[in-house]
Structure 1
Amino acid sequence: FLSFLFWLGDFEVFVAFLKDAVGSFSRAAYLGDIKDTVKILTVHEAKGMHFRYSFIPGVMWGNFPREFKQGSYIETGKSEEKHYEVEKRIFDIAVNTATESVFISFRMDFSEEEVLSPYLKEYLKDGINGEPAPAGIFEEDVKMQEVKLNPPRVSMPPVKSISATALENYIACPLKYFFEKIVRIRREMTPAALSGRLVHKIMERFHGEFPHPAESGGMKKKMSGLIDIVFLAALRKEEFPDGYTFKCWKKFVTPFLLKYAATEHEFDVRLREHKVEIG
């Protein structure tokens, strides 16, 4: 500073120089209002604007496109596929801001961890030769190449199945079905409802092995084993509020199920679960 002041020779001259410098830099925020100036904008700021020449630097992965980052624990509907679709549109907007020429620059001495933008191949007709651009590259005439993009792929949604019970629930109350099955508002299941669901599961697995009557002792033994397996699985998942409730409901349903399995009556399972396909 002292040597610089000595070079100026006069403190007043230095103050005048400083005032002029501050005045020049303070205009930087308003340079966009001056005609024929170079505008440095983000892609979003340049949206809808057009220039004779546009320069897009740093066309590397991480800039174009920006990497997808998972959001918070709250589901926002933001998917990785949607993210990169938006990033592709942002890059196309940047390229199309130029009316005559667009200049795209990127590093050539990148490391293994760095990757060129995948969008380059659509705009570079002859590909990348792997050599740095010559110093006078910006003095040459460059014309934009028209790119013919393939139409977007449209695929049919997969065929979904809906059970007969779910169909009946929808017919009974479409709004309730919407909140329970579409929005999936979680509600705590009562022990009685849980036990009923477990009984259905036990019966389904039982008749999967015994579609027709068999020896009474074998069916009773199988039913007893299924009761233990299914109820214990629910207990391990903490579906019952406590161990006491678990024991009460298991003890309550066991006699009915064992009596059903031990009775040598005629039954014929024709349909275990009926599903309707919708598309």
Structure 2
Amino acid sequence: MPHREYDAAFNPSPAKGELTVLFSGHAQTMPGHRVGPQVLDYYLVHTVVSGQGVFRCRHTDYRLGPGHSFIIFPGELVRYECSDEDPWRYHWAAFKGSHAEELLSACGITRHAPTALSARPRRMHTLYRRLEQSLREEGQVRKELASGGVLRLILAEYSSASKVGEVRNQEGPIIERQIEQAIRWLTLQYYQPISIEQMAHSLGYHRTHLSKMFKQHTGLSPMQYLLKVRMERAKLLLQESLTVEQVASSIGFTDPLYFSKQFKKTYGQSPSEYRQHLHNPYNCDGAGSKL
């Protein structure tokens, strides 16, 4: 189990605008809970309520505790892990939009400074709860307006936040950069037919060496990591008005039945059951999105 407690709300039909919320949630993590290394194609902010942990981005480690937030930017290789003795409880929100990076930058949050310490942690907690509630509003227009407004209030809190966090390990070895290249390549090419030989050739590395180093640093083989990326993309696409066949094709599966089998093996639900759970979270059994 990745979390002791978990709840999340989703925007089933996110608009394409300046700032749009995709999903939001909260969780009490298990000791040693770890995510990554991974690359996302949307913005994801976590705000720690309690506990301790480390967020790693651009070969820099940030030790973060209560009140801290860390922001994952699209295309950035990241990983994060909570303490064994004092695991994180946190809120999160995922979003996208043409003005997202500009708004974050105006609040002092950039790819080179992706953490902040809230001056009003109780207000942040309240705002995240309101954000989850807004995503459960009836009517798509109301949902979009309400969630977008609350997200702007959350970002506004960062305008007076301190950029704090213990930093260490600012320079990564060459092998980490090689793995970063491989992860970026898989993340960008996941919808294509992919072989390890093709990836190694494209990056200029020996296949055996790359596979060995990749698993050593990520805990997964390159093909296992590719499947993980595809399944995560599938969860997002299942929130759109696409058929299961269209979702399968969009993430590189030519056989929708094989895709459904892999999805159920990964998440314990078929794609159709997962989609039903998104629209009826209190009437269906099943796991939510893993963050």
Bigger radius of gyration among the two: 1
Q: Please give the range of the TM-score, normalised by the shorter of the 2 chains.
A: under 0.3
When you count helix as a share of all residues, which structure comes out higher? 1
